[in-house]
A and B are shown apart, each in its own frame.
Chain A
């Protein structure tokens, strides 16, 4: 064995610390939730914004009961999409502004764990906002059918797809100076399929459509979720590296 080989084998001793993918992901989720429940910056911004949108629609659309029921899905998804964008921007900006993104990237873990950690916490924030906005909507629009389990299931599927693509794009846009403007410009065109499918599926459920009638948008939602989670898993490393 040559001297060089000896040195290399000595240097490459087994490492003491290597986190598992799951543990690193959950560490990020716990960190985000702890920080947010203490500061409440992101959630309060998303909530106030959502409530304002619901209120504005309520006063702007002076509709009879029948028409009002037909716009429910559209109003709700418009609210969720705009509030979600606000949350996505803020969630990634917190990492970037104090250099914490570098801290995450320096951890000896597969970088897609960072994506999953951020995506799960973003999804949690969006679901919390939705859980507060839905009763408010039901109260203002006298619409209680939105609490049926299948409708809530569509909201969950739509939120997963929106957050998956949103987290990936916010990691890209946060590195630019115009991040606040850039994220919606990038996100809305890419998220059109998930938003259209969500509106179609939830609108169908409210209008008592048969399962066969909402099968197409439902399938589209599931396929979109799977594809964008897989794409984010594969490309996140390249997105965050200089």
Chain B
């Protein structure tokens, strides 16, 4: 579903990604872990067609980037630590706007379904600026799944959330993944990543330094695997 080969990204003289080979099968939930500055966000922005690769090939849902970026974007849902929502619109108006941007006709039933999934049906007519950070993040997930994408990218979705909000987000993420979607999530929260993901890839110094499945990690634990990968 996702495949990158020898992916390189440079900003001026600085090389962020140094030939990343990465692939994800349909239905897999991959946690992309790594220290700050490893290139996780840059990598996700390339997969989301928000940034052009300097070298290498990228394929998402069978389409090549950057040449077929509109086709890729139609199959993609992205959640970052920013909500990508308009504070002066209501929850419903935000979803209506994004539904129109994805060409969804008769979006009413779909919006009701999505608001129910993220537990915000009672706040549908409230302005987003009155929402807590956790509620905004749940609505951001609703925004990202409004067009029922096959691939979901989450860039540190837990940033700035308290414990309760994080637990609610866990449930929403599980329901998103339970629909058979392919998910790639970056996170610094190893415990949550261990609970949600089926595979763990460590991105360090611009390359995938190690990869392990949930089964592999159960033998030791994710923290020691992560530390070992960074040392190696």
Q: Which residues of A contact B (CB under 8 A)?
A: 7-8, 11-12, 15-20, 23-24, 27-28, 30-31, 34-36, 38-39, 94, 98-100, 102-110, 241-242
Closest to B48 in A: A106
Residues of B within 8 A of A105 (CB): 49-50
Report the minimum CB–CB distance from A238 to chain B (whole Å): 10
Determine the distance from Cα of A221 to Cα of B147 in the docked complex, in whole angstroms.
42
Within 8 A of A (CB), among B42-88: 45, 48-52, 61-63, 70-71, 73-76, 78, 80, 82-88
Contact stretch, chosen from B30-38, B100-108, B185-193? B100-108
Who on chain B is nearest to A240 by CB? B50
B126 at the interface (CB under 8 A from A): no
Q: Are B75 and A106 in contact (CB under 8 A)?
A: no
Contact (A27, B97) CB under 8 Å given A17-B102, A17-B103: yes
Beyond A12-B62, A106-B78, is A20–B103 a contact (Cβ under 8 Å)?
yes
In terms of DSSP, what is the predominant structure of the interface of chain B?
loop
- Residue from B49, B63, B70, B89 within 8 A of A35 (CB atoms): B89
Please give the distance in Å from B78's CB to the nearest CB on chain A: 6
| Number of residue pairs A-B, CB distance < 8 angstroms | 103
Q: Is B98 an interface residue (CB 8 A)?
A: yes
In the bound complex, what is the Cα–Cα distance between A152 and B71 (angstroms)? 43
Whether the Cβ atoms of A106 and B89 lie closer than 8 Å is no
Considering the complex, give the chain A residue whose CB is closest to the CB of B61: A11
The answer, among B80, B88, B98, B147, for a CB contact under 8 Å with A99, is B80
In the complex, which residues of chain A have a beta carbon less than 8 angstroms from the beta carbon of B104?
A: 17
- Cβ 8 A contact of A11, one of B62, B100, B101, B127: B62
- 8 A Cβ contacts from B120-150 to A: 127, 143, 147-148
- Do the beta carbons of B73 and A19 come within 8 Å of each other? no
Question: What is the CA–CA distance of A109 and B101 in the complex, to the nearest angstrom?
Answer: 8
Q: How large is the interface on B (under 10, 10 to 19, 20 to 34, 35 or more residues)?
A: 35 or more
Q: Please, how many angstroms separate the alpha-carbon atoms of A237 and B62 in the complex?
A: 23
B194: which A residues are within 8 A, CB to CB? Answer: none
User: With the chains together, A23 CA to B73 CA distance in Å?
Assistant: 17
Contact of B51 among A15, A19, A98, A242 (CB under 8 A): A242
> Shortest Cβ distance from A58 into chain B, in angstroms?
34
Q: Kindly provide the distance from the CB of A179 to the nearest chain B CB, expressed in whole angstroms.
A: 17
A109→B23 CA distance, assembly (Å): 26
Q: Which residues of the partner chain B approach A38 to less than 8 Å between Cβ atoms?
A: 88-89, 127
A100 lies within 8 A of B85 (CB): yes
**With A11-B62, A98-B87 known to touch, is A103 a contact of B100 (CB < 8 Å)?**
no
Contact pick for B50, options A15, A100, A242, CB 8 Å: A242
Q: Which residue of B lies closest to A35 (CB)?
A: B88
Chain A residues with Cβ under 8 A from B89's Cβ?
31, 34-35, 38
Once the chains are docked, how many angstroms separate the CA of A31 from the CA of B86? Answer: 9
Q: Is the CB of B84 within 8 A of A102?
A: yes
In the complex, chain A residues whose CB is within 8 Å of the CB of B103: 17-20, 23-24, 108-109
- Verify A108–B80 contact, CB threshold 8 A: no
B93 within 8 A of A: yes
Residue of A nearest to B26 (CB): A11
Measured CB to CB, the closest approach of chain A to B201, in angstroms, equals 22
Pair A104/B80 contact, Cβ less than 8 Å: no
Query: Using Cβ atoms and an 8 Å threshold, which residues of chain A touch B62?
Result: 7-8, 11-12
Asked if A106 meets B70 with Cβ closer than 8 Å, knowing A27-B97, A99-B80, A241-B51, the reply is no
Please name the residue on chain A nearest to B93 by beta carbon. A34
21 example contacts (A-B, Cβ-Cβ < 8 A) are as follows A16-B147, A17-B102, A17-B147, A18-B103, A20-B103, A23-B103, A27-B101, A35-B88, A98-B82, A99-B84, A100-B84, A104-B101, A105-B50, A106-B48, A107-B73, A107-B98, A108-B70, A108-B71, A109-B70, A109-B101, A110-B70
